[in-house]
Structure 1
Amino acid sequence: MSILFITSTRIGDAILSTGILAWLHEQYPEDGITIACGGPASKVFGEVPNLEALHIIKKQPNHGHWWKLWRAMAPRKWRVVVDLRRSAMPWLLLAGKRYSVPKDRTGRHRVELNASMFGLPSLAPKIWTAPQHRETAEKLLAGAKNPIALAVGANWAGKTWPANRFAALADRIRQMQAFGPETEIVLVGGADEREAGATLLENQGAGPDRGRVIDAFGLDILSTCEVLKKCRLMVANDSAMMHLAAASGIPTIGLFGPTKDQHYRPWGENGFVVRTPDSADTLMARLRSDPASVTHLMDGISVEDVAAQVEELEARGLLAAR
């Protein structure tokens, strides 16, 4: 029999849901898996074990996308249907077991909320890759010294720490004894985020003893995961790249302002948060009263705040060279 897994359109939420897939594969190792998700999220799932099909959900008027999904999935009986979008689909299909993610009434992290469907405390995200993704990462980072990853973009301007502060942070990290001036900065994110990294890219040739700035913008998700595994640290806005880094297992510092870190902090023992002094609710109230403030919602985080967190992780022995 087979499993139907219905998940998000957004890449970050899709990454957070991968722990469910790992658990399902462990419970039903012989079953094929069909994944229904949005187009952007589909890039996360290309190497999932026993993947039978990826069904791309494209939003249509009058809920037409759900009817299209039902028509595609109704002809067969499923061992398990898991739905993270709280649709009626699990109850419209023949299935042995049905699970639907509950509404959040507790303030839990999304990983914990997802796992609660099965009566479990959490299911850590897991990203599957293939040899070609590892080869891509090895070529990109060949000879790299002390690579540090930065994700300067996000899917909303309000979540974006100023690019010049990322550049200043890179300089601070290179001044730390544990790293040094030859430390190389790896910029990750979508191709459309390259402009946000322009300040760092323009400075890559400043000084003969200065480490490179490596442009990994636009790299596919699974190759980016392999790139991140080779980095000593990630500093990121609240974004898909932040969740990908945390899932890769490297120390990840997430920068939070108008979004709630209790829901979306980088998951795992190597996930850390630096947030604005103002809460997410306070910042969103400010935005409603002054929409033009959207580009300043992250200003409460200073370079010193983030550098201090990096130094703390180094003091705790968490930033060992890879």
Structure 2
Amino acid sequence: MRILFITSNRIGDGVLSTGLLAGLMERYPGALFWVACGPLAAPLFRHAPGVERVIELRKEPYAGHWRKLLSATMFRRFEAVVDLRGSATAFLLWAKKRHVLRSNHTLHRVIHNASVAGFDPAPSPRVWPGAQARARARELIPEGRTVLAIGPSAAWPRKMWPVEYHAELIGRLTGPGAPLAGAHVLIAAAPGERDLVRPIIEAVPDERRIELIGEDLNLVAASFERVRLYVGNDSGLMHLAAAAGAPTLGLFGPTPDGRYDPWGEKTAQVRGPRSHEQIIAEEGSGFSGPSAMRDLTVDKVYEAAVALLARTASSQAKEIA
């Protein structure tokens, strides 16, 4: 029995689709899954149980990527095709069941994804980093080491909280007498973003700094499984941290927190005094330009982080034990 699962090009949407994939694994025990996704999201699925093949969809002119997917799948029979990209692919393949997602801009993305196959409640996103990544993460973050993880980047500049604010927050959370006094700091970012996050790198002493910049997503996910707190912008890394079970605080500005909150019991979100609608009305909806989050103060993020630390203290202690 095979199931074709078509998901996102982007890391964040790919992470948010993993709950549905896990639900389908439970619904169809023993099934083999083919996952079609963009190359950035592909590592998320390589070690998932039951995933037989990951097909990378690199966007090509004239829908060439869809034609390549058809050529790889059209002579196979599938128990089901689940298409979260709303393409026509499901209707061109031999399949007993077809689940094709249609646009809905009111539901959280996890709930929206789950609805395509009738899951209620929605299964939570998760990570499958693999044994090798987890072994490496244990070397970086051995048992007993407290780590604050920071995700200072995002897909576009306007939804990035200023890096100097991140640097100040790190000092307030890890300095003497602070809630995470003396903690190591994990800095996660994409390839090519070292210059962007350099003020944060320089704010953390070498002996307490863990840099995961341009690293494999599975190592990042495995490391997130071991951190005490993650603070970061609305991004794929934020969703990855939440799926890994890290207490996750998402920072929001010109994007809708209601649809893209970090998902899970150990998560929270915070924004400045303006809704995303107000930001768009005042500053426009373009991707480029300066940060639209300068009015989200370090004080407010610090207070939200301390509250999340307090709320998750007992559950984190049990997991460590």
Bin of the TM-score, shorter chain as denominator length: over 0.9
Question: 1:67: how far off?
Answer: 1.8
2:304 match: 309
1:112-191 alignment, distance < 5 Å: 112-121=111-120, 122-142=122-142, 145-175=145-175, 177=177, 179-191=179-191
Distance 1:173 1:224 in 2: 22
Q: Aligned pairs, how many?
A: 316
Structure 1 pair 143–35 and aligned structure 2 pair: CA distance change class (3 A):
closer
Residue 185 of structure 2 contacts residue 204 of structure 2 at CA under 8 Å; is this kept in 1?
A: no
Give how far 1:292 is off: 10
- Per-residue displacement from partner, 1:180-239 (whole Å, max 9, x unpaired)? 541111111213222222112113339xxxx61211212211111111111100001001
Structure 1 position 293, deviation (Å): 8.3
After superposition, give the CA deviation of every residue in 1:129-164 in whole Å (9 maximum; x if it has no partner). 221111111122247732110001111001100111
Amino acid at match of 2:130: A
1:34-53 paired onto structure 2 within 5 Å: 34-53=34-53
Cα distance, 1:120 vs. partner? 2.1
In structure 2, what is the Cα distance between the partners aligned to 1:316 and 1:140?
26
- Correspondences of 1:78-89 after superposition (within 5 Å): 78-89=78-89
Residue 256 of structure 1 corresponds to: 252
Partner of 2:263: 267
Residue of structure 1 aligned with 2:242, choices 246, 259, 282:
246
Q: 1:277 to 1:36 in 2, by over 3 A?
A: same
Runs of 4+ in 1 over 6 A off after TM superposition: none
Partner of 1:295: 290
Q: Measure the CA separation in 1 of the matches of 2:165 and 2:140.
A: 25
CA distance in 1, matches of 2:167, 2:218: 26
Contact kept, 8 Å, 1:4 with 1:81, in 2: the verdict is yes
Q: CA deviation at 1:317?
A: 4.8
Distance 1:205 1:27 in 2: 48
The within-5 A match list for 1:28-107 is 28-105=28-105, 107=106
From the superposition, tell whether residues 40 and 315 of structure 1 become closer, same or farther in structure 2 (CA, over 3 Å). closer
- CA shift in 2, pair 1:102/1:318, >3 Å: farther
Deviations 1:250-288 (A, max 9, x none): 210000000001111000111100112211122123333
SS state of the match for residue 171, structure 2? helix
Moved more, 47-56 or 151-160: 47-56
CA contact (8 A) 1:57 1:65 kept: yes
CA distance in 2 between counterparts of 1:29 and 1:65 reads 30
Residue 224 of structure 2 is aligned to residue 225 of structure 1 = no
The aligned amino acid for 1:117 is V
Aligned residue for 2:107? 108
TM-score by length of 1: 0.92
Find the residue that maps to 2:134 and give its secondary structure: helix
SS at match of 2:47: coil
1:80-123 residue CA offsets vs partner (Å, 9 max, x unmatched): 10000000111111101100112105x11000000111222312
Task: State the identity as a percent.
Answer: 38
In 1, distance between residues paired with 2:200 and 2:157? 18
Q: CA deviation at 1:294?
A: 2.9
Residue 178 (structure 1) shift: 6.0
The runs of 5 or more residues in structure 2 that have no matched partner are none
Report if aligned partners of 1:145, 1:182 keep a CA contact under 8 Å in 2.
Answer: no
Quick one: structure 1 residues 202 and 81, their matched pair in 2 at CA, closer, same or farther if it must change by over 3 Å? same
Structure 1, unmatched stretches of 5+, are: none
Whole-angstrom CA distance in 1 between matches of 2:21 and 2:84: 12
Tell me: CA distance 1:293–1:223, structure 2 relative to 1, closer, same or farther (3 Å): closer
